Structure formats: structure tokens, C-alpha cells
């Protein structure tokens, strides 16, 4: 009976590992989809900021755009490029 108990324990351990692997895989897929959505948002925001002429905007709008630009600029260069690519945008300097 010891051998079958060990076999059962091994089966349960592998089953738990498979369940954990599946849960982690699902969570990773969810995070990757969320990242793609956030990249599109950041890319659209960067494109909008680049096109703004602050002289034509009310001060509260300029302040909101500045807050947005400050946070977009916190992205790494690679993430910002990914964001721009996600919306097929380029920033001319």
C-alpha cells in the first residue's frame, strides 16, 4: 500500500503543479493583453502631446497635458517606442 500511496502523492503533486502552471500562464496572458492596451493608450497620449500647441489652450488644459507628458516621459525609451509603434505614430524632433 505504500507504493500506491506514493504514486498517488506523486500524481497529486504533478496535478497541483499543472494547475499552478496553468494559473500562471493565464495570469501572464492577461498581463500581456493589459500591457498592449496600456501601450496603445501611452502611444496615443504621446502623439496627442506632440501635436498640441499650448499657446492655443486654456491653462487648465496645458496643466493636464503637462501632467500627462510628465508621466509618459517616465516610460523607458524602449516602452515609449513600443507605445508609438502600437499606434503607428512617430514623433518628429
Give the pLDDT of residue 24: 93
pLDDT for the residue numbered 93? 61
Q: Phi and psi (nearest 5°) for 88?
A: 55, 45
What is residue 90's predicted lDDT score, i.e. its pLDDT? 74
Q: How many CB atoms lie within 10 A of CB 73?
A: 10
pLDDT < 50: residue spans in the chain: none
Residue 72: per-residue pLDDT: 94
Amino acid at each position: 500500500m505504500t507504493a500506491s500511496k506514493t504514486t498517488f502523492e506523486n500524481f497529486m503533486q504533478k496535478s497541483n503543479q499543472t494547475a499552478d502552471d496553468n494559473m500562471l500562464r493565464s495570469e501572464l496572458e492577461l498581463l500581456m493583453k493589459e500591457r498592449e492596451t496600456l501601450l496603445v493608450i501611452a502611444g496615443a497620449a504621446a502623439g496627442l502631446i506632440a501635436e498640441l500647441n499650448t499657446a492655443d489652450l486654456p491653462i487648465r488644459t496645458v496643466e493636464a497635458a503637462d501632467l500627462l507628458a510628465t508621466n509618459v516621459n517616465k516610460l523607458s525609451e524602449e516602452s515609449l517606442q513600443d507605445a508609438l509603434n502600437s499606434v503607428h505614430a512617430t514623433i518628429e524632433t
